[in-house]
Amino acid sequence: MAKADRQHLVLGTAGHIDHGKTALIKALTGADTDRLKEEKERGISIELGYAELELPSGTRLSVVDVPGHERFVRNMVAGATGIDIFLLVVAADDGVMPQTREHMAIIEMLGIPRGVVAITKADLVDEEMVELVEADVEEFLSATPYADTPLVAISSKTGAGLPELLGALETAAGESTAHEAGGPARLPVDRVFSLKGIGTVVTGTLWSGTICAEDSIRVLPEDLEARARAVQVHDQEVECAGAGSRVAVNITGIDKDRLARGQMIAKGDFTPTYMVDARLNLLPTAPALKYGAQVRFHHGTSDATAKLMFADREQLAPGDSCYTQVRLKTKIVPARGDRFIIRSLSPVTTIGGGVVLDPHPHKHGMGGEHITRLETLERGKPDEVVSLLLAEARPGGLSFGELMAVSELPAGKLREILAEPETATVFSNQAGELYFHPQTVTDFNDGVLEALARRQEDSPAEPSLSLDRLGKAVSLAEDGRDFQVMLTALAGAGEITAKGRRYALASAEARLSGSQKRLLDRIKALLDEGGSSPPTLKELESAAGADKGDLKLVLGLLVENGSAVRIKPDLFYAAAPLEAAREQLIARCRQAGRITLAEFRDMLGISRKYAQALLEYFDRTGVTRRIEDYRILRKKAGI
Residue 357 Cα to chain centre, angstroms = 15
Tell whether omega for the bond before 395 is within 30 degrees of 0, i.e. cis. Answer: yes
In the chain, the amino acid numbered 422 is: E
Three-state SS sequence of 237-300: EECEEECCCEEEEEEECCCHHHCCCCCEEECCCCCCEEEEEEEEEECCCCCCEECCEEEEEEEC
Helices then strands (H, E): number in the chain? 19, 35
Q: In terms of DSSP H, where are the helices of 30-126?
A: 37-42, 73-80, 98-109
Q: Would you call 410 exposed, middle or buried from its count of C-beta atoms within 10 A (0-12, 13-18, 19+)?
A: middle
DSSP letter at 361 equals P
SS3 115: strand
Strands 9-15 and 60-65: parallel
Dist CA 17 CA 146 (whole Å): 21
Dist CA 429 CA 415 (whole Å): 18
The answer to whether the Cα torsion of 130, 131, 137, 141 is positive or negative is positive
Q: Would you call 241 exposed, middle or buried from its count of C-beta atoms within 10 A (0-12, 13-18, 19+)?
A: buried
SS3 429: strand
Question: Do 469 and 463 contact (CB within 8 A), yes or no?
Answer: no
- Residue positions annotated with a catalytic role: 18, 21-22, 69
SS3 57: coil
In 3D, which of 273, 409, 280, 385 has the Cα closest to residue 339?
280
Dist CA 376 CA 387 (whole Å): 10
Long-range pairs for 441-447 at CB < 8 Å and ≥24 separation?
441/486, 443/394, 444/394, 444/395, 444/474, 444/476, 444/482, 444/486, 445/486, 445/490, 445/495, 447/473, 447/474, 447/475
Question: Do 504 and 465 contact (CB within 8 A), yes or no?
Answer: yes
DSSP E strands: which ranges in 264-394? 264-266, 273-282, 289-290, 293-299, 302-310, 315-316, 321-332, 339-343, 350-358
SS3 156: coil
In 3D, which of 355, 354, 352 has the Cα closest to residue 335?
355
